[in-house]
Amino acid sequence: MNKEVIRLGLQVASWIAPDFTLRRVVDVLQRPRPYPTRVRERVALAQALEFRINFDDQQVTGWSWGTGPRQILLLHGWGGRGIQLRQFIAPLLSQGYRVVLIDFPAHGDSAGERTHLWQWIRAIEATCTHWGPFDGAIAHSFGATALVNAVRRGASVGRLSLVAPLSNLPLGFESWLRDYHVPPPLRRMILDQFSSTVGVEIEELSPQHFALEMKVPLLLVHDIQDPDVPYRQSDQLQQKWYGSRLLTTENLGHHKVLKDPHVINSIVSFVTDSEEEVA
């Protein structure tokens, strides 16, 4: 459908029936597109121990590899699933770590059709309670946003590597809503609705908002040409998070960065606290 038609349709609908339009747009935004699992990803999952965790009124499905006493948590982004980070599994296992990943609510093999940030935060907290403390975690995009919030609330994770994190939620959501051609007045209503759903102002869940109080070691990774989450989201977070480092890549975009050998080696070295220098 023509983008201009979508934009005009939303403008008219928001004027004639603003409440209905608000509910409809919020519903669409909370329903992730299905992620098509590839054969090689299913093969990797078949080699793992599958588990399920119940929390609140939700259930998430996850997998673990290895039996080492030290463990690393892998977290995907919106519209993805945990096995997207499979390239990290082998190098972590080779260093004696157990590797744990989950599919967030309404993603992959986990239950539900709709979800939002607060459920992701709670899923991480429940996973940390189920498995005990994690030595480190690697999180992508929206999963990185949820991870930082969970750690702030007390989830026990030793070292964090965030790949293309959404660290300024109002700015990020405004960009996404523009992509949906949502009229400005309706954007504000949607942001207010989000704050109402999670029970706090959206700004308070933005990692940039509370970065100064965070003490956990952090490695940020972001591609300077990322079309989905602008590079400045990591650049600005790094400036506010004491002692953090930012690894900048080029021409890898938002997803290929998870498969780049240099990125993988750098992140594994960091979360395992090995002596190899992250450059």
pLDDT digits over 147-163, tens only? 999 999 999 999 999 99
Instruction: Supply the range of the domain harboring residue 228.
Output: 41-166+207-271
Are 96 and 185 in a shared domain?
A: no
Tell me what pLDDT residue 232 has: 96
Are 236 and 145 in a shared domain?
A: yes
Are 160 and 264 in a shared domain?
A: yes
Q: For tokens 């959206």, what's the residue?
A: 202
Are 118 and 228 in a shared domain?
A: yes
Q: Where are the beta strands (DSSP E) in the chain?
A: 49-55, 58-65, 70-75, 97-103, 134-140, 157-163, 218-223, 245-249
Query: 4 in a domain, yes or no?
Result: yes
Residue pair 137/147 in contact by the 8 Å Cβ criterion: yes
Tell me what pLDDT residue 29 has: 76
Query: 276 in a domain, yes or no?
Result: no
Amino acid identity at 35: Y
CATH code of the domain in which 227 resides: 3.40.50.1820
The pTM score is 0.91
Query: 279 in a domain, yes or no?
Result: no
Query: 95 in a domain, yes or no?
Result: yes
Q: What angle do CA 118, 53, 106 make, to 5 degrees?
A: 50
* Number of domains forming the structure of the chain: 2
pLDDT > 90: percent of the chain: 70
